[in-house]
């Protein structure tokens, strides 16, 4: 069994183990700040044990700058090697040789998943061998197990077994049970928005790391800001358009929310809770950028939704009349261009009307009225038409209820550039849009 041991800061919480579920399902946390991972079956996915160690250290140092690690054959061997040769990998079956030259004081780190019952007892064992002139781990391997058992009972037996690689410790799969919550107590109450955002970003980063390890997304983030004076509390709920664990997205939503809050009463304590949902599993191409346009679009839609702004996307419809040729939908869809073609004797050609090239370049108004407005004769006389002939004609097929429109460019009395049409059925002029 190949084991990776990470030595984090002593104040690391047990929930930090969830960050490393991306490297192995078998993860174990032991105080103070030790994380063990069984990597026999997962190291190949990361390009080998050395690269997996580098990745795990990178994740660790985002939260604990002084983190170190090591890989060896057993949990206690990896822990001792982590102290003796930080950030190293012991080759398979080489654990006993690599630790043989270590000083006798390394007995304190020869623990693994279960800590020594008494540190003072181990210290006494180390002092005893020092009085005999023994200073290296490999030197005390010469003694028989009975000698260890008679003098130091169970602790002595465990030491002898671990020195000979005979103590079996199994790392069980980690089933996340810790709530996705974080609590911040500020020694100095905060009344400046940038500093408050900095504190919240560190906490949210830890929670997003745990979400990634658990294979989950955040459906909602609930932030409670407790003020220093009185019992006032600000409640903030962040809910993106789609579940996400994008830290940048949540920081944008949080910044917009905090902009509406008065910080005259400084913030003393902060509680953060994440409501998770399972992530959607999909295979990504190695060459596909990890930050896609759809993710950027999701960020923008989430900001609009939080601000209670109605947003949507224009969806083309198969209609002739401009006001009926599109609709607003809440979701973005990609459309492929369709080509009209006719099959003739095994060869195909595309139909292109004679006016299509010019029509494609014809300007369209930047503001289109949802319903064209009829113009009375007096109002129509105030418009200056820019041509005597219509610039464009629109009409349905002869079998449909044709509306027959002739479009013109014109200038209003205020100098506005407008789009008018003459309805040949109703014999009326209508205002349909404005140009910039």
3 state SS of 37: strand
Q: CA 420, CA 414: separation in Å to the nearest integer?
A: 15
Q: Which of 305, 321, 344 is the last residue in one of the domains?
A: 305
Asked whether residue 316 is assigned to any structural domain, the reply reads: no
Looking at residue 418, its pLDDT comes to 92
Yes or no: say if 18 and 176 are a contact pair by the CB < 8 Å rule. Answer: yes
Is residue 198 domain-shared with residue 248, that is, in the same domain? yes
Is residue 152 domain-shared with residue 26, that is, in the same domain? yes
Q: Which of 163, 197, 219 is the last residue in one of the domains?
A: 163
- The pTM assigned to this predicted structure is 0.62
Helices (H), ranges, 90-177: 95-100, 119-131, 145-163
Q: CA 275, CA 244: separation in Å to the nearest integer?
A: 11
Asked whether residue 315 is assigned to any structural domain, the reply reads: no
Is residue 299 domain-shared with residue 389, that is, in the same domain? no
Closest by CA to 373, choosing from 434, 425, 293, is 434
DSSP letter string, 311-364: --EEEE-S-SSGGGSEEEESS----PPP--EEEETTEEEE---TTHHHHHTS--
How far, CA to CA in Å, does 433 sit from each of 66, 182, 375? Answer: 64, 53, 13
Domain hosting 368: range is: 364-434
Q: Which of 288, 305, 322 is the last residue in one of the domains?
A: 305
Q: CA 351, CA 349: separation in Å to the nearest integer?
A: 7
* Ramachandran assignment for 323, one of left (phi > 0), alpha (psi -120 to 50 degrees), beta (any other): alpha
Q: Which residues contact 175 (CB under 8 A, 6 or more apart)?
A: none
Asked whether residue 357 is assigned to any structural domain, the reply reads: no
Is residue 258 domain-shared with residue 215, that is, in the same domain? yes
Is residue 9 domain-shared with residue 150, that is, in the same domain? yes
Asked whether residue 10 is assigned to any structural domain, the reply reads: yes
Is residue 295 domain-shared with residue 376, that is, in the same domain? no
Is residue 235 domain-shared with residue 378, that is, in the same domain? no
Quote the DSSP letter at residue 285: P
Strands 88-89 and 68-72, bridge-based pairing:
parallel
In the chain, the number of structural domains is: 3
Q: Which residues contact 430 (CB under 8 A, 6 or more apart)?
A: 372, 373, 374, 375, 420, 421, 422, 423
Strands 27-30 and 34-38, bridge-based pairing:
antiparallel
Looking at residue 338, its pLDDT comes to 45
Is residue 80 domain-shared with residue 225, that is, in the same domain? no
Is residue 147 domain-shared with residue 248, that is, in the same domain? no
Yes or no: say if 73 and 165 are a contact pair by the CB < 8 Å rule. Answer: yes
Q: CA 262, CA 258: separation in Å to the nearest integer?
A: 8
Q: CA 67, CA 78: separation in Å to the nearest integer?
A: 14
Asked whether residue 30 is assigned to any structural domain, the reply reads: yes
Q: What is the pLDDT along the chain (436 residues), one digit of tens a residue?
A: 899 999 997 778 888 899 999 899 999 999 888 999 999 989 998 999 999 999 999 999 888 888 999 999 999 999 999 988 999 999 999 998 988 888 998 898 899 998 888 889 999 999 999 998 999 998 998 889 998 999 999 999 999 998 888 888 899 999 888 889 999 998 888 888 889 999 899 899 989 999 988 889 999 999 999 998 888 999 999 988 888 888 988 998 898 888 888 888 999 999 999 999 987 654 444 444 445 556 666 666 666 666 666 666 667 776 777 777 777 776 655 545 444 444 444 544 444 444 445 555 667 788 888 889 999 999 999 999 998 888 888 876 655 555 688 999 999 988 899 999 998 888 899 999 998 7
Asked whether residue 29 is assigned to any structural domain, the reply reads: yes
Is residue 146 domain-shared with residue 8, that is, in the same domain? yes
Asked whether residue 344 is assigned to any structural domain, the reply reads: no
DSSP letter string, 173-240: PP---S-SEEEEEEEEEE--HHHHHHHHHHHHHHHHHHHHHHTEEEEEEEEEEEESSTT-EEEEEE--
Yes or no: say if 5 and 87 are a contact pair by the CB < 8 Å rule. Answer: no
Is residue 278 domain-shared with residue 222, that is, in the same domain? yes
Is residue 9 domain-shared with residue 113, that is, in the same domain? yes
Yes or no: say if 150 and 223 are a contact pair by the CB < 8 Å rule. Answer: no
How far, CA to CA in Å, does 7 sit from each of 67, 94, 126? Answer: 6, 21, 23
Asked whether residue 234 is assigned to any structural domain, the reply reads: yes
Here the CATH number for the domain that contains residue 238 is 3.30.1490.100
Q: Which helix (H) or strand (E) holds 36?
A: strand 34-38
Q: CA 155, CA 160: separation in Å to the nearest integer?
A: 9
Largest CA distance in the chain: 117
């Amino acid at each position: 069994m190949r084991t990776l041991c990470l030595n984090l800061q002593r104040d690391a919480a047990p929930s930090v183990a969830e960050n490393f579920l991306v490297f192995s399902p078998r993860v174990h946390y032991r105080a103070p700040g030790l994380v063990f991972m069984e990597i026999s079956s997962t190291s190949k996915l990361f390009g080998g044990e050395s690269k997996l160690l580098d990745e795990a250290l990178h994740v660790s140092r985002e939260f604990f700058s002084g983190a170190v690690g090591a890989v060896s054959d057993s949990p206690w061997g990896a822990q001792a090697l982590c102290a003796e040769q930080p950030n190293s990998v012991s080759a398979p079956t080489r654990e006993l040789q690599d630790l043989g030259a270590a000083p006798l004081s390394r007995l304190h780190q020869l623990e693994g998943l279960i800590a020594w019952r008494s540190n003072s007892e181990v210290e006494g064992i180390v002092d005893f061998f020092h009085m005999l002139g023994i200073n290296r781990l490999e030197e005390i391997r010469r003694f028989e197990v009975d000698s260890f058992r008679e003098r130091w009972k169970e602790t002595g037996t465990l030491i002898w077994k671990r020195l000979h690689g005979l103590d079996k410790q199994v790392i069980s799969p980690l089933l996340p049970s810790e709530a996705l919550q974080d609590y911040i107590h500020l020694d100095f109450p905060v009344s400046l928005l940038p500093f408050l955002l900095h504190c919240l970003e560190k906490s949210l980063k830890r929670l997003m790391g745990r979400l990634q390890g658990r294979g989950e997304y955040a459906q909602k983030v609930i932030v409670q800001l407790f003020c220093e004076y009185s019992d006032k509390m600000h409640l903030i709920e962040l809910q993106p358009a789609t579940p996400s664990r994008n830290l940048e997205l949540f920081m944008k939503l949080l910044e917009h929310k905090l902009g509406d809050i008065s910080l005259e009463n400084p913030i003393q304590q902060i509680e953060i809770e994440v409501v998770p949902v399972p992530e959607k599993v999909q295979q990504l191409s190695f060459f596909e950028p990890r930050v896609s346009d759809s993710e950027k679009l999701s960020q923008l839609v989430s900001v609009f939704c939080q601000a209670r702004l109605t947003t949507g996307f224009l969806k083309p419809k198969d209609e002739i009349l401009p006001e009926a040729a599109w609709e607003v939908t809440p979701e973005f869809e990609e459309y492929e261009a369709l080509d009209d073609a006719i099959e003739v004797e095994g060869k195909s050609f595309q139909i292109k009307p004679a006016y299509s090239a010019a029509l494609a370049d014809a300007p369209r108004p930047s503001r289109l009225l949802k319903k064209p407005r009829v113009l009375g004769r007096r109002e129509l006389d105030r418009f200056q038409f820019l041509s005597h002939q219509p610039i464009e004609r629109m009409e349905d097929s002869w079998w449909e209820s044709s509306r027959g429109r002739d479009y013109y460019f014109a200038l209003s009395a205020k100098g506005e550039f407008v789009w008018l049409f003459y309805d040949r059925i109703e014999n009326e002029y209508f205002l349909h849009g404005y140009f910039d």
